[in-house]
Amino acid sequence: MSQTVFEPWNDPQAKPLIQFKNVTKRFGDFTAIDNQTFDIYEKEFFALLGPSGCGKTTMMRMLAGFEAPTEGTILLAGQDIAPIPPNKRAVNMMFQSYALFPHLSIWENIAFGLKRDGKSKDEIAARVAEMLKLTRLERFANRKPHQISGGQRQRVALARSLAKAPKLLLLDEPLGALDAKLRQDTQFELMDIQETTGTTFVIVTHDQEEAMTVASRVAVMDDGKIVQADTPARIYEMPNSVYVADFIGEVTIISGTARRGDGAYEVSFAEGQPTLFAESDTEFANGQECHLAIRPEKVSITAEKPSDRRNALEGSILDIAYLGNLSTYHVELAGGQIVKAQTANTRRLSRRDFTWEDRVWLSWTDTAGILLKG
């Protein structure tokens, strides 16, 4: 079987499942969503990522039908969903608090939506059994929600929202209440379930690692706007703004002025510091302000000045963040600029090459950094 890349957003023929068209949502004077237009495709696992108050939850609640857009339209499979109340939408939601009905058993919770559809008893029983199997909850069918663990409750909530086989499943911080270890396992489980059922998932999260792990595309939001929506890899490697670069992962931002050189831009950023070189597809005018974003793992740290790289800066180690598998060195340059460099801890800690206050050289290639306008 040949593996085809799943990238409907690059296919002009693909029909989006959800279309936001100039959607604005205001609460009084406050603009929660500011004139947004974007598409979500079938079978996508789409993540809305941003700090609290960025509008990601509002976006999701508009899809569920609990909020109506102030301006603009939202289309689901080509149909305007504004007049459809939440109980008639082919959209289901998994709530952050799980919102399991405490007076009903796990079985009854999962059957709740099916019963509302007036399905026959046998159909309901078969579907609930299928959902219990999918989420490995068979043994707990007769328990009440307060008699099972947090992780199990999370799976009940997922099973309940999937039971009606919605076109679109909304997940509001689905793993927020789980501890770190369980969360990781559950992330993969979510991806498996999404793949098995073929449902389109939209997940809201403030946890960038979670978004990167599960999503086919991540939309980074700030202040009611989607700043960038792209695959996790492109979001990380090719952020379109300082905000995105800074929000996702660790990064060093060096601000300076650009000057066109041969093949790469020359960036001068501080008095007495050497010029840096960076290749960029974005056009910069000579003398234009620019921001060079470099991921710490792309920066090498050496005792001697490397001869094979043009970008080399000298500084002293200010801080070492030891993460077990990795160490992040915070290196202070002469002008006060701090640059982060990350190395894998392939040796035991006692054999570490560098320690606090050491003079070191940082270096990276012309293509390692990305040049941003703002």
Partner 1 sequence: MRRFVLIALPYAWLLALFLVPFIIVLKISLSDIKLAIPPYTPTLDFTEGWTGIKAFFSALDFENFTFLTTDDLYWKAYVSSLKIAFIATALTLFVGYPIAYGMANAPDHWRPTLMMLVILPFWTSFLIRVYSWMGILSTEGYLNQFLLGLGLMSEPLTILNTPTAVYIGIVYTYLPFMILPIYSALERMDASLLEAAEDLGCSRLKAFWLITVPLSKTGIIAGCFLVFIPTIGEFVIPSLLGGSRTLMIGKVLWEEFFNNRDWPVAGAVAVVLLLILIVPIVLFQRNEQKQRELEG
- The residues binding partner 1 (CB under 8 A) are 64-66, 85-88, 91-93, 95-97, 99, 101-103, 112-113, 116-117, 146, 160-161, 164
Please state the closest distance from residue 92 (CB atom) to partner 1, in A.
6
Minimal CA–CA distance to 44: which of 237, 279, 215?
215
Q: Of 112 and 264, which CB lies nearer to partner 1 in the complex structure?
A: 112
| Two structure tokens written together for 192 | 């498996």
Please state the closest distance from residue 164 (CB atom) to partner 1, in A.
7
Please state the closest distance from residue 103 (CB atom) to partner 1, in A.
5
Q: Of 97 and 196, which CB lies nearer to partner 1 in the complex structure?
A: 97
Q: Of 88 and 352, which CB lies nearer to partner 1 in the complex structure?
A: 88
Q: What is the residue type of 285?
A: A
Cα four-point dihedral sign 305, 309, 311, 316: negative
Q: Of 45 and 98, which CB lies nearer to partner 1 in the complex structure?
A: 98
Q: Of 23 and 169, which CB lies nearer to partner 1 in the complex structure?
A: 169
Q: Of 18 and 371, which CB lies nearer to partner 1 in the complex structure?
A: 18
Q: Of 123 and 289, which CB lies nearer to partner 1 in the complex structure?
A: 123
Please state the closest distance from residue 274 (CB atom) to partner 1, in A.
56
Please state the closest distance from residue 153 (CB atom) to partner 1, in A.
13
Please state the closest distance from residue 272 (CB atom) to partner 1, in A.
58
Please state the closest distance from residue 40 (CB atom) to partner 1, in A.
18
Q: What is the residue type of 243?
A: Y
Among all chains, which residue has been given the structure tokens 């909304």? 170
